[in-house]
Amino acid sequence: MEAWVFWLVLGVILMVAEILTPTFFIFWFGVGALAASLVSLYLGVYVQIIVFAAVSIVLVFFTRRLVQNWESPRKIHVEEIAGKVAIVIETIDNRKGTGLVKINGDVWRAYVEDDDEIIEKGEHVKIMKVEGAHVVVKRV
């Protein structure tokens, strides 16, 4: 197999592999492989490897901050909010399916442990646990 074909196939494989990963990282190595494919038409193996490494590293280094801005700005961990106090911004009524609380600037769907209890807007509640995309609370 000729060198340019190897680099071309490697570049395409790496770019396709990027689709299967949650980060934007492998793609730049695919671009580096495509650059090495172009260089392989005129220069030797050592230069191809250097071009591959240099292009890949430069792209990763200079685009990392840009890609981080695309990713979610803040990840919430359950341990971070469990046990803390939040403010009710929409009346919590399990029977009506309503209820929102605000904690650390984030809004969460909220439920009360007891279906008969209703907690009005403006009251403070304690986060008992996180269940999926909502929190279970009790009145403070």
Those residues whose C-beta lies under 8 Å from the C-beta of residue 91, and which sit 6 or more positions away, are 98, 99, 118, 119, 120, 121
For the domain with range 78-139, which CATH number is right: 2.40.30.10, 2.40.50.140, 3.40.50.1580, 1.25.40.10?
A: 2.40.50.140
pLDDT of residue 3: 84
pLDDT of residue 70: 60
d(CA 101, CA 107): 6
* Alpha carbon distances (Å) from 111 to 8, 53, 88, 103, 117: 54, 52, 11, 14, 10
CB atoms within 10 A of CB 17: 13
CA quadruple 121, 124, 129, 133: dihedral positive or negative? Answer: positive
Domains of the chain: which residue ranges? 3-70, 78-139
pLDDT of residue 72: 54
- Tens place of pLDDT for every residue, the chain, 140 residues? 788 888 889 888 988 888 887 677 788 898 899 999 999 888 888 999 999 999 999 988 888 777 666 655 555 566 678 888 999 999 999 888 899 999 887 888 999 988 888 899 999 999 988 888 889 998 88
pLDDT of residue 78: 66
